[in-house]
Structure 1
Amino acid sequence: MNIKGSVALVTGANRGLGAAFVRTLLAAGASKVYAAARNPLSITIESGVVPVRLDVTSPDEAEELAQKLGDVNLLINNAGIGGYGAILSPSSIDLLRDQFETNAVGPLRVTQAFAPILTTHNSSAVINVISALSWATLPGVTGSYSASKAAAWALSNAMRQELKTQGTEVLSLHVAFMDTDMVRGLAGNKASTDVIAQMTIAALERGESELLADEITQNVHAGLTAETPVYLGMLE
């Protein structure tokens, strides 16, 4: 897909990777970027950016927005939430529900709403932001988050097959730790959100279906077929 002249909708666009996607799309020649957030006043306004309200957990908001934005031919499902803890803790079920609703059901809900819009364009695509933690978990820390991202990965693969019939491409972005608020308290090297956004848009323009954006992600993915698979505990 060629980004030049495209019209994109980016969810969770008020900060972090979402804001980086907005900047990258404009630099790549997108004619308009709808920057979505629960609070559109939190969006940085510049030429080519149209702030819109969207709570991805709301079926009504997704449908209503799709009815208004008929010119969108690129959807970037970036909105997501973190939250960490042991899955056997008393609060884990509530956290799991919240993360599934935002991280897995949310992208599906928005894609369902916009699929009829995307099919009206000669060229269209969906980018789903997944995670290296869709394939493994940090014990006692990311159990529910990893579960929600594993579901998001499976749904992204299903979207790719179903949207293929209407000519809409689907790219899954897998990335580990980025310099965002979600992991601000964690030590270690973190990727630049601008670099990841640029890599993702370049991958889309090359026609790729999946991007393993950093070394950690590539190592985790390779570990799926190791003698002791990564999901059996190599991240301990």
Structure 2
Amino acid sequence: MKGTLVNAAAVLVGSGVGLVLKSGIPEKYQNTIMHGMALAVGAIGLQMAFKTQNILVVILGIAIGAIIGEALNIDGGLNRIGLWLSNKMGGQTEDRKNNIGRAFVTTSLIYCIGAMAVVGAIQDGIAGDTSTLYAKSLLDGITSVVFTSSMGLGVAFSSISILLYQGSITLLAGFFSTVLSNKVIAELTATGGILIIGVSILMLEIKQIKLANLLPAIPAAAVIAYFWPI
């Protein structure tokens, strides 16, 4: 849980800095910072993707995961949840509370629904490897400054979402750690790396991807790697 705790704390600290800069960071700086963060995310994804020991496992995992994700329409479901939360938290109240609700929902989705959150939490639970979550903490902390300066206090509450979401994954990963071999972890990490590259593409607005529909690729690759002949 150490990586998740640091991640949540980073968002809180970044939000505090953003509130101090309540006049707002100029848009040109926001854009440049976000582009820089996107490139860093892409580099992290590539580093993880190259850890594969069998690219066929990764390819099959992504193909099967995409089919499962599209069948379940995970992306559509998350969008509906986000709209429901936004309406419940501020859709029918005064502007200030409405902004808090939108900021909370938007940043919770950004920080939690991503491959770095999933893979990083799994690595923390299985091997106590917090490197991915520490990198995510730095990225989230910096971006939370930008988000809070423009969206308001609601960004800080997304730290609760991080604790609940990533913490649950870490605990589950630790429970199943005895059945996960090094080869399974390698392919799981590599598949997650591919999805992290997708996060970079989304941040750079190069192409719209239903990235949430690819999340099942991570457990799919783990299962395939477990049964793949050595």
The answer, yes or no, to whether TM exceeds 0.5 is no
Larger RCO, structure (CA 8 Å, separation 6 or more): 2
Which structure has greater helix proportion?
Answer: 2
Taking structure 1 as the reference length, the TM-score comes to 0.29
Which structure has greater strand proportion?
Answer: 1
